[in-house]
């Protein structure tokens, strides 16, 4: 039996195509991926991402626990600030990437990927030797992402909170559609201006919030958007997807997450392994690839080969960019091939297509 979000009936009524996504029955598209993608790039769209996980960490040593299990430095956070981070295994492989929200002194919210909720919770719980309480409220929380240039104008109609004050990676506890205690944040996964709305389904009516946002965005031709458009949008911006671009077989330094790996902050799980990687240097790097051949649409798992046809890597994410009208991908390439404008080849079925190595974002 697949899990369903509180918006499942709305998706069905809207004629969404539903798929199994990590054990959740989720909309992959409504009107079509292209229309939804363009709505977010040019106006406004709304995604149901209530399948994501929310853990709440509190207590005198809440920060110490977060510092120990994540690679970024959460001590830099203040209430109202959020941070992108990741958790690693002892060998430096990635458990998951996540968001850390500081709600108040000694009170945090961790937002994790849907398919990793149970695994992540067990991992943190296993390493909680601190005076900190960890609670999993994923099943009670709703999460909507309203994204695009007209997202602020859409949501401001429904909130007494000044949304223009919510800068990138900050949040406010505000009002929305007549309900209070809604976390309104700006962390984004589309590269566009936008907001994430977190609320407890026992305290705010999911149906009423969905319909209110759609009504408020009506003048901007707001579109409900599925996971298909979410994937094409995030790939154009070079954002990693867990299970594709980052896994337990990849480490943050080769995955271009070195900027959030704070080895100097003190002890954390995986630090020793990552220090060794840094000292020895990485052998491969997650890079962007542009393919001019229109027919050669790159897909996850396709081989990246050298001039002689020897496999040197694999595509981790690939699509035809809706914004650019070009084929784009991400994949791990050997360091000697990771210089921008280097040439590699993609094995597309029985032929190869030339690809240019670039540093994301593509758009």
Q: What percent of the chain has pLDDT over 90?
A: 99
CATH of domain 53-136: 3.30.70.1400
pLDDT number for residue 32: 97
Taking a C-beta distance cutoff of 8 angstroms, is the pair 98, 297 a contact?
A: no
pLDDT number for residue 270: 98
How far apart (Å, rounded) are the C-alpha atoms in residues 201 and 132?
25
pLDDT number for residue 218: 98
- CA 347 to chain CA centroid, nearest Å: 28
pLDDT number for residue 132: 98
pLDDT > 90? residue 330: yes
Q: What percent of the chain has pLDDT over 70?
A: 100
pLDDT > 90? residue 100: yes
pLDDT number for residue 83: 98
Using alpha carbons, list the distances in angstroms from residue 13 to 27, 66, 87, 112, 224: 12, 41, 38, 28, 12
Q: How confident is the model at residue 342 (pLDDT cuts 50, 70, 90)?
A: very high
How far apart (Å, rounded) are the C-alpha atoms in residues 43 and 66?
37
CATH of domain 284-358: 2.40.30.110
* Model pLDDT for residues 226-284, shown as the tens digit of each residue: 999 999 999 999 999 999 999 999 999 999 999 999 999 999 999 999 999 999 999 99
How far apart (Å, rounded) are the C-alpha atoms in residues 165 and 97?
26
Using alpha carbons, list the distances in angstroms from residue 79 to 83, 105, 135, 203: 11, 7, 19, 22
Tokens of 158: 């429904």
Indicate the class that CATH gives domain 8-50+139-236. Answer: alpha beta
User: What is the mean predicted confidence (pLDDT) over 299-310?
Assistant: 95
* Model pLDDT for residues 38-74, shown as the tens digit of each residue: 999 999 999 999 999 999 999 999 999 999 999 999 9
pLDDT number for residue 215: 98
Ranges of each domain in the chain = 8-50+139-236, 53-136, 284-358
Per the listing, tokens 């051949």 go with: 293
Mean pLDDT estimate for the chain: 97
Phi, psi of 44 (to 5 degrees): -160, 145
98 or 22, greater pLDDT: 98
Q: How confident is the model at residue 349 (pLDDT cuts 50, 70, 90)?
A: confident
Q: How confident is the model at residue 350 (pLDDT cuts 50, 70, 90)?
A: confident
pLDDT number for residue 212: 98
Query: What percent of the chain is helix, strand and coil (3-state, nearest 5)?
Result: 25, 35, 40
How far apart (Å, rounded) are the C-alpha atoms in residues 35 and 32?
6
pLDDT > 90? residue 214: yes
Q: How confident is the model at residue 202 (pLDDT cuts 50, 70, 90)?
A: very high
pLDDT > 90? residue 150: yes
């Amino acid at each position: 039996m697949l899990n369903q979000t509180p918006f499942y009936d709305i998706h069905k009524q809207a004629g969404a195509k539903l798929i199994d996504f990590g054990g959740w029955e989720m909309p992959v598209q409504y009107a079509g991926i292209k229309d939804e993608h363009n709505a977010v790039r040019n106006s406004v769209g709304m995604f149901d991402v209530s399948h994501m996980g929310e853990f709440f960490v509190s207590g005198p040593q809440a920060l110490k626990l977060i510092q120990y299990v994540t690679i970024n430095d959460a001590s830099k956070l203040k209430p109202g600030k959020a941070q992108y981070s990741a958790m690693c295994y002892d060998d430096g492989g990635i458990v998951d990437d996540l968001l850390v929200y500081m709600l108040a002194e000694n009170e945090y919210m961790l937002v994790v990927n849907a398919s990793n909720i149970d695994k992540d919770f067990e991992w943190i719980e296993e390493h909680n030797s601190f005076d900190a309480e960890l609670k999993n409220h994923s099943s009670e929380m709703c999460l909507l992402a309203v994204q695009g240039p007209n997202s602020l104008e859409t949501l401001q109609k429904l909130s007494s909170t000044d949304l223009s004050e919510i800068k990138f990676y900050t949040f406010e506890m505000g009002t929305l559609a007549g309900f209070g205690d809604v976390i309104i944040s700006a962390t984004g996964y589309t590269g566009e201006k936008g907001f994430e709305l977190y609320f407890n389904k026992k305290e705010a009516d999911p149906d009423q919030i969905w319909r209110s946002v759609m009504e408020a965005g009506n003048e901007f031709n707001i579109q409900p958007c599925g996971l298909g458009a979410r994937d094409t949008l995030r790939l154009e911006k070079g954002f990693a997807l867990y299970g594709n671009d980052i896994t337990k077989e990849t480490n943050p330094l080769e995955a271009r997450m070195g900027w959030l790996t704070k080895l100097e902050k003190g002890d954390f799980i995986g630090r020793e392994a990552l220090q060794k990687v840094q000292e020895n240097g990485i052998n491969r790097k997650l890079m962007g690839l542009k393919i001019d051949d229109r027919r050669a649409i790159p897909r996850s798992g396709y081989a990246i080969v050298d001039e002689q046809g020897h496999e040197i890597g694999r595509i981790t994410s690939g699509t035809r960019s809706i914004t650019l009208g070009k084929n784009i991908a991400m994949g791990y390439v050997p360091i000697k091939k990771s210089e921008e404008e280097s040439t590699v080849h993609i094995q597309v079925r029985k032929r190869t297509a030339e690809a240019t190595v670039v540093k994301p974002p593509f758009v």
